[in-house]
A = this chain, B = another copy of it.
Amino acid sequence: MFFSRLELDRDKSRALYLQVADHLRHRIESGELACDTRLPASRVLAKQLGVNRVTVVNAYAELEAEGLVTTKVGSGTYVTAANETSVHDDQTPMPVRLGGPPLRRHWNAGQMMNEMMRLARQPGVLSFAAGTPASEFIPVNEFRRAINDVLRRDGADALQYEEASGYFPLRQVIAEMLQDQDIEVKANDILITAGCQQAMDIALQVMARGKDNVLVVEEPCYLGLLDLLSSKRITPVGVPMDEHGMRVDQLEQIILRHRPSLIYSTPNFHNPTGISIPLERRMAMLEIAARYGVPILEDTTYDELYYESKPLPTLKSLDTNDIVFHAGGFSKTLVPGIRIGYLVAPQSLQERVVTTKQTTDILTSPLNQRALHAYLESGGFPDHLKMVRTAYQTRRDTMLAAMEQHFPDEARWQRPGGGIYLWVEMPQPGPTATELYLTAINYNVAFSIGSVFSAGGYFAHAMRLNFAGCPPDEIEEGIRRLGKAWKELLSRSNTLAEPRRVSLHIL
């Protein structure tokens, strides 16, 4: 039998799922379970071992977090290629020239994100990898003034404890901003968080309180959300996207099959694809969510970064059933480093989100909240947004033009109406984004590989480029380098006698 040797210690000196994971890890690392081996379905293995199916699901999740296996939606769990990131070491020696530790074999999404951040800061590298907005537009002096005004006005009050829900005048200003978007909301409905990421963390803590939670995500999906799910042992189930975003026609089946705790969606200028969802799909999504009582977590991080026309109404503004968590922030539009975001939860859950926020970190810095409030009250934000939109639009168009000029003819992309990302699809068959990444680093240019944005291990032939973070001349130079790396890689691939073993998933 496949698992005849697995003896579990029922006395729980170590949790059962970890014992199962330990056993599988050992057999994968010893090579006994070869790359691409399909592991038994969780139900089957559970029966074989005489454990709850959930134990096996968790064991697989543990191994997936370690990069040892990959779950493909609707297909199964497979042993990940042990050497898929060492293509170059095996075949075409090409050491990474940058400082720091060598690239690791098994990375989870969080480690990948760290590596991207590290690369983005290496001197000489033009990086389109991170989700960083342009530093040159951060209104440093305005914030310095705001902080000084606040400390002069409020003194120690700005540095003491206060309500977990947030500084009331800031909540009022944010409520007014949301009211302008036709969201019916009062200051008391708003929870101030440490950035939009914490807003999502809190929504998850509130909604995914039981066990064996599943979350519906768009496929591909924001990396930080996938990583949050991984650290919380929540299983993401992807809904495919087309050029109009989430395939809402598949949502109902997925809900019926997986009974998710929550649906996560970025309807406007989606990360990583830049796609926006049309109105009728938004209505359909809300209708299905309401019918099955599954709340939606709406991520509005990029809503204010539109370049042609204003974004369509948010899900929250269309929500007549009070089932939408609305999360937003100021990191991409204004300033990442003061760490202020907000969450509007459904009414019945608002008390719980405040309690959760309080248990997590007591409150968000009252100084930073007051400084943001003072800045917003000064009236400069609308003009700042106009300026940023104009600049980012130019950068988008610069990058699109450079891609047109330098990328291989077979590459495909869309022109996003907002946000800060371009999503590029690479021809198949052909080198993967991982291979291109390792080549491009030698040309001192970096991007994000597509597979890190996937819940199901897809998008090995896609990449995400941040067009907003660098000035136009660097964009042109970076895309030129990337095009050159790409063409070099293609010509190298073509001269190989054998088709190369291709990495499918995580770097």
Closest CB in chain B relative to A210 CB, distance in Å: 4
Please tell me if the beta carbons of A361 and B159 are within 8 angstroms of each other in the complex: no
Tell me the A residues contacting B by CB distance below 8 Å.
12-13, 15, 17-18, 58, 108, 110-111, 113-114, 117, 130-132, 135-136, 138, 140, 143-144, 147-148, 151, 155-164, 193-195, 197-198, 201, 205, 209-211, 224, 227-228, 230-233, 259, 331, 335-339, 351, 354-356, 358-368
Q: A337-B366, A360-B360 are in contact. List 16 more A-B contacts (CB 8 A).
A: A58-B210, A108-B355, A111-B351, A114-B164, A114-B354, A114-B355, A117-B161, A117-B162, A140-B155, A140-B156, A194-B364, A205-B232, A209-B233, A224-B358, A227-B355, A365-B365
Closest CB in chain B relative to A319 CB, distance in Å: 22
SS of A interface (majority): helix
Please tell me if the beta carbons of A143 and B114 are within 8 angstroms of each other in the complex: no
What CA separation (Å) do A279 and B338 show in the bound complex? 42
What CA separation (Å) do A212 and B194 show in the bound complex? 29
Q: Which B residues lie within 8 Å of A336 (CB)?
A: 159-161
What CA separation (Å) do A138 and B161 show in the bound complex? 12
Closest CB in chain B relative to A62 CB, distance in Å: 9
Q: Which B residues lie within 8 Å of A233 (CB)?
A: 209
Q: Which B residues lie within 8 Å of A111 (CB)?
A: 351, 355
Q: Which B residues lie within 8 Å of A354 (CB)?
A: 114
| Given known A117-B161, A140-B155, A160-B135, contact A201–B368 (CB-CB < 8 A) | no
Most buried by B among A111, A136, A144, A233: A144
Listed from nearest, the 9 A-B pairs whose CB atoms lie closest are: A159-B337, A110-B355, A135-B156, A15-B210, A198-B361, A194-B361, A228-B359, A138-B156, A231-B359
| Given known A147-B147, A361-B195, contact A17–B155 (CB-CB < 8 A) | no
What CA separation (Å) do A198 and B356 show in the bound complex? 12
Q: Closest residue to A199 on the B side, CB-wise?
A: B361
Q: Closest residue to A362 on the B side, CB-wise?
A: B197
What CA separation (Å) do A163 and B337 show in the bound complex? 11
Please tell me if the beta carbons of B113 and A367 are within 8 angstroms of each other in the complex: no
Please tell me if the beta carbons of B151 and A143 are within 8 angstroms of each other in the complex: yes
One of B194, B205, B209, B338 near A159 (C-beta < 8 A): B338
What CA separation (Å) do A114 and B351 show in the bound complex? 11
| Given known A339-B362, A355-B108, A355-B231, contact A161–B130 (CB-CB < 8 A) | yes
Please tell me if the beta carbons of A138 and B159 are within 8 angstroms of each other in the complex: yes
Q: Which B residues lie within 8 Å of A232 (CB)?
A: 205, 359
What CA separation (Å) do A194 and B354 show in the bound complex? 16
Please tell me if the beta carbons of B138 and A160 are within 8 angstroms of each other in the complex: yes
One of B158, B159, B227 near A358 (C-beta < 8 A): B227
What CA separation (Å) do A362 and B113 show in the bound complex? 10
One of B132, B144, B160 near A337 (C-beta < 8 A): B160
Closest CB in chain B relative to A367 CB, distance in Å: 5
A-B contact pairs, 9 of them (CB 8 A): A110-B359, A114-B164, A114-B355, A117-B162, A136-B156, A161-B337, A193-B361, A194-B365, A337-B366
Most buried by B among A136, A358, A368: A358
What CA separation (Å) do A355 and B164 show in the bound complex? 25
Please tell me if the beta carbons of A367 and B355 are within 8 angstroms of each other in the complex: no
What CA separation (Å) do A156 and B359 show in the bound complex? 31
Closest CB in chain B relative to A109 CB, distance in Å: 9
Please tell me if the beta carbons of A231 and B211 are within 8 angstroms of each other in the complex: no
Closest CB in chain B relative to A373 CB, distance in Å: 14
Q: Which B residues lie within 8 Å of A160 (CB)?
A: 132, 135, 138, 336-337
Q: Which B residues lie within 8 Å of A12 (CB)?
A: 259
What CA separation (Å) do A359 and B233 show in the bound complex? 12
What CA separation (Å) do A103 and B358 show in the bound complex? 20
Q: Which B residues lie within 8 Å of A136 (CB)?
A: 156
What CA separation (Å) do A363 and B337 show in the bound complex? 9
Please tell me if the beta carbons of B197 and A360 are within 8 angstroms of each other in the complex: yes
Please tell me if the beta carbons of B148 and A144 are within 8 angstroms of each other in the complex: yes
One of B58, B151, B228, B362 near A144 (C-beta < 8 A): B151
